[in-house]
Structure 1
Amino acid sequence: MRGDYDTTSVVHSDTYPAIDSAKADLSGKAVFISGATRGLGRGISVSFAKAGASMIALGGRADLSDTAQAMRAAAARVGKPEPNILKLKFDVSSRESVDAAAAEIKKTFGRIDVVVNNAGTGLGGGPIAETDPDNWWNTFAVNLKGPYLIMRALTPLMLETGGLGAFVTVSSVGAHLRSPGYSAYQTSKLAVLRLTEFLNAEYSDKGIVAFTIHPGNVATDMTRGPDGKVPAEIAHIFVDTPELTGDSVVYLSKEKREWLGGRYVNVTWDLPELMDMKDEIVKGDKLKVQFVV
């Protein structure tokens, strides 16, 4: 999934010095990460701890203790203060659950600077005629309704907070593919690109910068088989690390970059090189889903 999707001359599979989250200073900032129990979410959470974010809320359906422990250890390792960690057990597809989590964030932190819509599900499912309708639609409940509910619930607090105003939604390079058997996953990831464009269009003039990322091809529970291994036929693709994802998210959100609003970034691209391409990207209105004739 590189090739045609390479935008920069250099691509990465692991973190690198230019985006090292330990070099960032997010002291005083509040962050929320959904799907933080393991995998990508844990990697993102650890990177924000290394960046010195003072307040970090973690959302997930399972126990978040291991993630919190990894965050504290990472902050100590790079000499950053231990963050105030708020663990929120919630269901991203439930309005009541998301609204309660947002209320708890406001009560405990009183602000939110960065929101990372990371929770996701459902790589496969089979050809359309062979899919289970409930499972197919549940993929949309998590991958599309979930980010919508979080945007809806936390946008008011972000508007009150001002500051960074970063909404980062994890999409996928799969949004641009048509892989047989993956209709629910890839269509939901395409839809969330457009949803994020709407959030940016509706609130950019009030200080919010909303964009999506492909988090890299990281082996997670969604890609591993019952034996805990990535199937041999796709193992050569899933070679990227959660550290690349986490440090990339910090790098992209640590300062206000209004021009990124509504755009899509593949974190395997060299991000400093991408920043240097700003004028070209803005002039051509690139990194967006568009109908071109």
Structure 2
Amino acid sequence: MVVSARQAAYDFRDAVALVTGGASGIGEACVRALAAAHAHVVVGDLTLEAAEQLAGELDGRSGRVVPVQVDVTDQARVEALGAYVQATFGRLDLAVNSAGIGVTNQPVVDHDPEMWRNVLAVNLDGTFLSLRMELDLIRRTAGRGSIVNMASVLAHRGWAGSAAYVASKHAVIGLTRAAALENAEQGVRVNSVSPGFIETPLLVERHDAEARAAMGALHPLQRLGSPDEVAETVLWLLSDSATFVTGADFAVEGGFLSR
């Protein structure tokens, strides 16, 4: 992933940002973009080795980009992450909640309840626990800030075989709107982004070229999106260019929802 000139034009100097799910895919693109914009970035990820590798690549030894292992479904670990951010940087200004797991392929009548709970635990409970911690930390240490939750085009549509994923992403938008209303007067903006089908390493691993081409054809722009294109919108929402934007969802989906 290459940081664009538009991303590099943002200046988050002295701001502290946290990205969950930050070691791969869209989360990684957000970490790279924030680092290029001079933010201090905490890379939170379930896989510590991947977070360490990314932080090392971007930062060397300056301590501006730091890796942290976190399981967003575990309240104690999420709260420990918040304590680490405060102890390390003294504040939190910005957050991106990108930790999530993908689409299942089980119709409702055959859906494994354990799989259902696992998807909801990561995509919804994990977003809730992270958001809860971030709101408290931003309000106590920075006084104002911006948070972006990662939804999906499937937060706006049904998709056969993916009830758990669809339900979780619909709920993320509802959670985002409620949190935005509750924190507007405190100066904390909360928005969400709904990517279309994005060419992440996980998607490439799971689908061959023919399948990816078919996914791309679902979008009027006739291609898959890139993580960097999603990060462009996330950066704008985090920035002072979006100071009158809260409780909104932004679709980055090549026209998918217009059909």
TM-score (norm: length of structure 2): 0.86
Q: Which residues of structure 1 form unaligned runs of 5+?
A: 1-13, 74-81, 271-293
Structure 1 pair 268–50 and aligned structure 2 pair: CA distance change class (3 A): farther
Q: 1:28 to 1:140 in 2, by over 3 A?
A: same
Distance 1:132 1:205 in 2: 42
What is the Cα deviation at residue 257 of structure 1? 3.1
| Counterpart pick for 1:42 among 21, 28, 31 | 28
CA-based RMSD of the aligned residues comes to 2.5
Structure 1 residues 268 and 71: alpha-carbon distance in aligned structure 2, compared to 1, 3 A threshold? farther
- Residue in structure 2 matched with residue 148 of structure 1 by the alignment: 128
Relative CO higher for 1 or 2, CA cutoff 8 Å, sep ≥ 6?
Answer: 1
Match of 1:95 among 66, 70, 75: 75
CA–CA distance in structure 1, aligned partners of residues 208 and 17 of structure 2: 31
Q: Which of 117, 137, 141 is the aligned partner of 2:117?
A: 137
Report SS of the residue matched to 1:223.
helix
Q: Letter of the aligned partner of 1:234 in structure 2? A: M
**Greater fraction helix:** 2
Task: Confirm whether residue 57 of structure 1 aligns to residue 42 of structure 2.
Answer: yes
Name the SS for the 1:191 alignment partner: helix
- Cα distance 1:230–1:252, how it changes in 2: closer, same or farther (>3 A)? farther
Query: 2:199: which partner in 1?
Result: 219
Match of 2:215 in 1: 234
Q: Distance in 2 between matches of 1:187 and 1:15?
A: 32
Number of equivalenced pairs: 247
- How far apart are residue 167 of structure 1 and its match? 0.9
Task: Report % sequence identity.
Answer: 26
Once the two structures are TM-superposed, the CA of residue 229 in structure 1 deviates from its matched residue by 5.5
Instruction: Indicate the residue corresponding to 1:266 in structure 2.
Output: 251
Shift of 1:196: 0.8
Name 2:55's counterpart in structure 1: 68
Q: Which residue of 2 aligns with 1:210?
A: 190
Within a 5 Å distance, the mapping from 1:26-37 to structure 2 comes to 26-37=12-23
In structure 2, how many angstroms separate the alpha carbons of the residues matched to 1:258 and 1:30?
A: 17
Distance 2:225 2:14 in 1: 31
The 4+ residue runs of structure 1 with deviation greater than 6 A are none
